[in-house]
Homo-oligomer: A and B are copies of this chain.
Amino acid sequence: MTPTSDKSAKRGGLSRRGLIGSAGAGAAVAVAGAGAMAATGGAPAAASPSWSTVAFHGAKQAGITTAAQDRLHLAAFDVLPSATRDDLVQLLKDWTAAAARMTAGDGAGPAGPLSGPYDAPPDDTGEAIGLDPANLTITFGLGPTLFRDAAGADRFGLAPRQPEALTRLPHFPHDFLDASASDGDLVVQACSNDPQVAVHAIRNLTRIAFGRAAIRWSQLGFGRTSSTSTTQVTPRNLFGFKDGTSSLRAEDTAGIDAHVWTRPEPKAGWLEGGSYLVARKIATHIETWDRGSLREQENIIGRTKAEGAPLSGGHESTAPDFALAGRAGAPLVDASSHLALAHPEHNNGVRMLRRGYNYVDGSNRLGRLAAGLFFIAYVTDPRTHYIPMQAAMASNDLLSEYLQHIGSGLWAVPPGIADGEFVGQALFT
A residues apposed to B, CB below 8 Å: 12, 16, 19-20, 22-26, 29-31, 33-34, 39, 71, 73, 75, 78, 113-114, 116-122, 125-130, 180-181, 194-196, 199, 202-203, 206-207, 210, 214-220, 222-223, 233, 236-241, 286-287, 290-295, 297, 304-307, 309, 311-316, 324, 326-327, 332, 358, 360-363, 365-369, 371
Are B196 and A222 in contact (CB-based, < 8 A)? yes
- The contact of A222 among B75, B220, B293, B367, by CB within 8 Å, is B220
Cβ contacts under 8 Å, A368 to chain B: 206, 214-215
Cβ contacts under 8 Å, A19 to chain B: 295
CA distance A87 to B109 in the complex (A): 57
Cβ contacts under 8 Å, A34 to chain B: 305-307
**Contacts A203-B371, A306-B39; A22 near B326 (Cβ below 8 A):** yes
Label chain A's interface by main secondary structure: loop
Are B240 and A129 in contact (CB-based, < 8 A)? yes
Q: What is the minimal beta-carbon distance from A112 to any residue of chain B, in angstroms?
A: 10
Are B119 and A217 in contact (CB-based, < 8 A)? no
Cβ contacts under 8 Å, A332 to chain B: 23
Are B240 and A126 in contact (CB-based, < 8 A)? yes
CA distance A113 to B76 in the complex (A): 37
Cβ contacts under 8 Å, A31 to chain B: 306-307
Cβ contacts under 8 Å, A126 to chain B: 236, 239-241, 305
Are B236 and A127 in contact (CB-based, < 8 A)? yes
Q: What is the minimal beta-carbon distance from A75 to any residue of chain B, in angstroms?
A: 7
Give the 10 A-B CB pairs with smallest separation, nearest first. A126-B240, A214-B367, A33-B307, A25-B313, A34-B306, A195-B222, A196-B223, A218-B363, A30-B307, A215-B363
Are B127 and A237 in contact (CB-based, < 8 A)? yes
Cβ contacts under 8 Å, A309 to chain B: 25, 30, 33
Are B218 and A315 in contact (CB-based, < 8 A)? no
CA distance A19 to B362 in the complex (A): 38
Are B73 and A127 in contact (CB-based, < 8 A)? no
**Contacts A34-B307, A196-B223; A180 near B365 (Cβ below 8 A):** yes
Are A120 and B218 in contact (CB-based, < 8 A)? no
Are A215 and B314 in contact (CB-based, < 8 A)? no
List the B residue with the shortest CB-CB distance to A316. Answer: B33
Cβ contacts under 8 Å, A366 to chain B: 214
Are A129 and B215 in contact (CB-based, < 8 A)? no
Cβ contacts under 8 Å, A26 to chain B: 313, 315
